[in-house]
Structure 1
Amino acid sequence: MHRAVVEWFAANARDLPWRGDCSAWGVLVSEIMLQQTPVVRVRPVWAEWMARWPAPADLAAEPAGEVLRAWGRLGYPRRALRLHEAAKELVSAHGGKVPSTYAQLLALPGIGTYTAAAVAAFAFGRRETVVDTNIRRVQARLVSGLALPAQSLTAAEARLAASLLPEDPGRSVQWNAAVMELGALICTARSPKCDLCPVRDECAWIAAGQPEPTYIPKGQPWAGTDRQVRGAVMAVLRAADSPVQAELLWAPAAVLESTPIPHPGAVASSLRRLHDLNTHAPQLERALAGLLADGLAQLSPAGYHLPH
């Protein structure tokens, strides 16, 4: 099984810039950006970040507002702030270098168990059990005969992943990357390409007759949610190079059409997109309060702006 999956990976892996000859910092940035975000959206932003901030010290020296502005529309912008804090910690406690052990990585701000294991494995070749959504799905089908893994990671799944990990460190890194890629390209959630799977003949799910999942996975809603409103407000603040007056955030779209906006065109366009949502006042209040509480925005007498 190990050989079949690893050989498939060697022949079919995507050419991604954070694989192969990439710094540990580049791997760490990629892992943060790839959380809940597809590769196609991450790739151009990652390239821009690495050109602008090729080392932790470069990012640490930037104000938080610039980091959030460069994050753009990747979503979940608190990840940008966590990465910024991690960069500062790398400079102050690790000489500007990414540490190589799981324990050291886990101690960094905003770094969880998955990211610590992934960076230790993919950047430093360490034998660590890496378990993401793709790996969990492959394990569920290949070994457990289930259409989908549990809705959240269980202790049994973690033990299974550890039991499947090859003993040789180099082979374990290959296995982690290969299973993850197999889940991303072949063993997908909705339309698995079983005819192309290198371990089809060993798959417990196929042997069981491909039973239906015990639940229907639901994507996170977006339209009409507080997350959508927060994202629209953040787009306004990213476009502005000076504070945005509070009354402009609250003004109805019709008022914006007849009121000169003292900001460049990108800000005016973002404001119109915000008000095209027809957000009710309580929802906008929640969105603004949440952005302030999360440190993603600040409020001064002149208006709302990205953090300094």
Structure 2
Amino acid sequence: MGHTTRRVRSSRVEIAPNAVDAEVLLEWYGATARDLPWRRAGVTAWQILMSEIMLQQTPVVRVEPIWREWVARWPVPSAMAAATPAEVLRAWGKLGYPRRALRLHECARVLATEHGDEVPTDVDVLLGLPGIGAYTARAVACFAYGQRVPVVDTNVRRVVARAVHGRAEAGNPSSRDLPETEALLPQRIDHAAVFSAALMELGATICTARNPDCTRCPLPRCAWIAAGRPVGETVRRTQKYEGTDRQARGRLLDVLRDATGPVERFRLDLAWTRDIGQRDRALDSLLVDGLIEQTPDGLFALAGEGRLSEGS
């Protein structure tokens, strides 16, 4: 695979480039990788960017049908840029964290006006786009353009923690994550991009957080297994949704997504009656986030739709 002997030193351990057997992992990925639509030939960088934004904190099964709809509706950035923020928010549906949809809409406008309707290839340029953070920039550079850049998400960090460091859990994100992951990448650029996808796939499907299926793991060496699978220190708690501010925000947004224009305040009040203070807090946060707006006559609407009531 053309490995070098370069090592990246961290505060805890040196990472040998063959600490994860790249050849074995690539062979496993080629034989077992999930057939996800954004991995197929012919998918553009813009469409991969949309998938990466949608997949943040959202399962594949929920993302796939919405992504397909968006690819058909907005195949290029300028198509989305021509839509209103409200149209994008409605199309986002219940994927969660709807600010992602607004930021992607802003990004589409910048791509259409400043980048010739193309997604840049350079990580630093990508980082300058609205809503694009370090992970997304590197993921696009890697998966859309095949660049040899480390792509580090929760799944990758967990695989590295176990296979390389012998720890059950990755712990908090660290400045070591990128150089350690980069040290594992094959030198061949075309292999490096696939290797990044394979690491992610391994963490998502086998080396999972709660129930890792070590009997199916393709790696011939794993420091965690060698250490006897020591238990991590983190106490995992199921993140509740019922009764949270997030749920309240979602109920208020549902009212506005289902409406054809601005609505009166009482419609929103009826959507969340269990806690008036929480409802007011949720409404204020939606306004601050720019997801909704209030018209001069006191009605509420999705972003960009408040002006529909003016002059009516």
TM-score computed with the length of structure 1 as normaliser: 0.89
The percent of aligned pairs where both chains have the same amino acid is 51
1:284 aligned to 2:305? no
Once the 2 structures are TM-superposed, how far is the Cα of residue 284 of structure 1 from its aligned partner?
Answer: 0.5
Moved segments of 4+, more than 6 Å:
none
User: Aligned equivalents of 2:192 and 2:280: distance in 1?
Assistant: 49
1:241: which partner in 2?
Answer: 260
Q: How many residues align?
A: 282
1:305 aligned to 2:305? no
1:208: which partner in 2?
Answer: 227
- In structure 1, stretches of 5+ residues that fail to align are 252-273
2:31: which partner in 1?
Answer: 11
Query: Partner amino acid for 2:52?
Result: E
Q: Which has the higher helix share?
A: 1
Helix, strand or coil at the partner of 2:144? helix
User: Aligned equivalents of 1:4 and 1:239: distance in 2?
Assistant: 50
1:184-223 → structure 2 map (5 Å cutoff): 184-199=204-219, 201-223=220-242
Aligned residues of 2:146 and 2:190 also touching (Cα < 8 A): yes
1:1-308 → structure 2 map (5 Å cutoff): 1-21=21-41, 22-150=43-171, 152-199=172-219, 201-251=220-270, 274-275=271-272, 278-300=273-295, 301=297, 303-308=299-304
- In structure 2, stretches of 5+ residues that fail to align are 1-20, 305-312
* Residues 219 and 176 of structure 1, relative CA distance in 2, 3 Å threshold: farther
Aligned residues of 2:155 and 2:200 also touching (Cα < 8 A): yes
Helix, strand or coil at the partner of 1:155? coil
Aligned residues of 2:255 and 2:267 also touching (Cα < 8 A): no
Helix, strand or coil at the partner of 2:170? coil
User: Aligned equivalents of 2:178 and 2:236: distance in 1?
Assistant: 21
TM-score computed with the length of structure 2 as normaliser: 0.88
User: Aligned equivalents of 1:245 and 1:285: distance in 2?
Assistant: 14
User: Aligned equivalents of 1:159 and 1:103: distance in 2?
Assistant: 17
Once the 2 structures are TM-superposed, how far is the Cα of residue 167 of structure 1 from its aligned partner?
Answer: 1.6
When structure 1 is superposed on structure 2, of 242-251 and 30-39 the one drifting more is 242-251
Once the 2 structures are TM-superposed, how far is the Cα of residue 219 of structure 1 from its aligned partner?
Answer: 4.3
RMSD over equivalenced CA pairs, Å: 1.1
Aligned residues of 2:249 and 2:282 also touching (Cα < 8 A): yes
Aligned residues of 1:144 and 1:204 also touching (Cα < 8 A): yes
Aligned residues of 1:27 and 1:119 also touching (Cα < 8 A): yes
Once the 2 structures are TM-superposed, how far is the Cα of residue 164 of structure 1 from its aligned partner?
Answer: 0.9
Query: Partner amino acid for 1:25?
Result: W
Aligned residues of 1:243 and 1:302 also touching (Cα < 8 A): no
